Amino acid sequence: MRRSLPFELFRYAMIALALALTLIPILWMASMAFKPIAEWSASGADLTWWPKAPTLDNFRYIFGEQTTALIATLDRTATKPILASLLAAVFGTLIAMSAGTAAAYGLSRFGSGQNLPLALTQLRLFPPMAVMIPVMIMWAFLGLIDSWWGLALIYGIVTLPFAFWLMKTFFDEMPKEIEEAALVEGCSRFRVFMKITLPMMRAPLASSAMFVFILNWSDYLIGLLLTTKEWVTIPVYMASLSSSMTGQLYGAKAALGLIAAIPPVILGIAIQKHLVRGLTFGALKQ
């Protein structure tokens, strides 16, 4: 049935509105990142969408180069926070996906541990601060405070329920007959899992890993509570970008925000051929 012209116009108007709401903050951040201090510290009628005199000073500043006398020298540059976020997010994602995939496969195929899904979900039901207080005590006792491996471990634990639930849904949608045929031919269960099941789950694994990575990459609370100085993450470091002379360093924060957006974008581009298939895995059945 052909849709009417008013309906089509309304649909395109809603799409345009959704795009505007999504893209305007990104465009504003990109514009702010290339503005000199005189422009991003302006107010009222002096504010402009696009920089009048584009500059890379904000990027130079967060990496330690003094570019203007109006901004005090940074206590630390953005290099180590970027490294800390990368290490913690990547290894936290590996931990969550490895444990979550194994648990999801076991529960999906063998049906044991019926209370396991609820037990894993309970980790997400508690208020974050209630969970982090005992975690801080344990991490201090184990010497994991202010270390990237301590962050990676807690990231893997916290995002494990997401990885488990996502992968369990995908395993439930995968036909068991393929694995059973391989078992009949003499393959062990471990070999079936490694050689048949996991290769068939590349798309779901890619989409789930991207989701978990973004959760770890964008975390603020855990990084704030479990780091002090040496291994602070990008969100924690960004919150500290301020000056007694100019207040919040919006230009520097925007520059760091653009840099922080690069890894998720690169990851999305790298796995895009698996992403759509992974997100729609099992949606259509013959």
* Concatenated DSSP letters of 219-267: --HHHHHH-SSTT--HHHHHHT-EETTTEE-HHHHHHHHHHHHHHHHHH
For residue 177, give both structure tokens.
Answer: 């007959």
Check residue 285 and give its pLDDT: 45
Residue 50: give the domain boundaries.
5-54
Return d(Cα 238, Cα 252) in angstroms, integer.
8
> Is 90 a residue whose pLDDT tops 90?
yes
* 149 plus 25 within the same structural domain: no
| Residue type at 220 in one-letter notation | Y
The rounded Cα 217 to chain-centroid distance in angstroms is 4
* 160 plus 253 within the same structural domain: yes
The rounded Cα 67 to chain-centroid distance in angstroms is 31
Check residue 94 and give its pLDDT: 95
Give the highest mean pLDDT range of 115-129, 173-187, 264-278: 173-187
108-143 pLDDT, tens digit each: 888 765 666 677 777 777 777 788 888 899 999 998
| Residue type at 152 in one-letter notation | A
> Does residue 62 form part of some domain?
no
For residue 236, give every residue at least 6 positions away whose Cβ sits within 8 Å of its Cβ, in sequence order, or none.
Answer: 81, 220, 223, 224, 227
Q: Extract the runs of DSSP E, i.e. beta strands, from the chain.
A: 242-243, 247-248
* 202 plus 279 within the same structural domain: yes
User: How many domains does the structure of the chain reveal?
Assistant: 2
For residue 248, the cross-strand partners are 242
* 48 plus 172 within the same structural domain: no
Return d(Cα 242, Cα 255) in angstroms, integer.
14
- Reported as a pLDDT band with limits 50, 70 and 90, residue 8 is confident
> Is 280 a residue whose pLDDT tops 60?
no
| Residue type at 98 in one-letter notation | S
- Reported as a pLDDT band with limits 50, 70 and 90, residue 286 is very low
CA distances (Å), origin 47, targets 31, 59, 168, 198: 11, 20, 50, 53
> Which has the closest alpha carbon to 154: 96, 212, 99?
96
* 17 plus 136 within the same structural domain: no
Type and span of the H or E element at 168: helix 160-173
* 185 plus 134 within the same structural domain: yes
* 19 plus 155 within the same structural domain: no
Give the global pTM: 0.83
* 26 plus 134 within the same structural domain: no
What CATH number does residue 262 fall under? 1.10.3720.10
> Is 1 a residue whose pLDDT tops 60?
no
> Which has the closest alpha carbon to 84: 255, 243, 260, 251?
260
Asked if residues 132 and 221 have their Cβ atoms less than 8 Å apart, the reply is: yes
> Is 283 a residue whose pLDDT tops 50?
no
> Is 232 a residue whose pLDDT tops 60?
yes
> Which has the closest alpha carbon to 259: 92, 63, 90, 20?
63
* 23 plus 163 within the same structural domain: no
Q: Determine the average pLDDT of the residues in 214-232.
A: 90
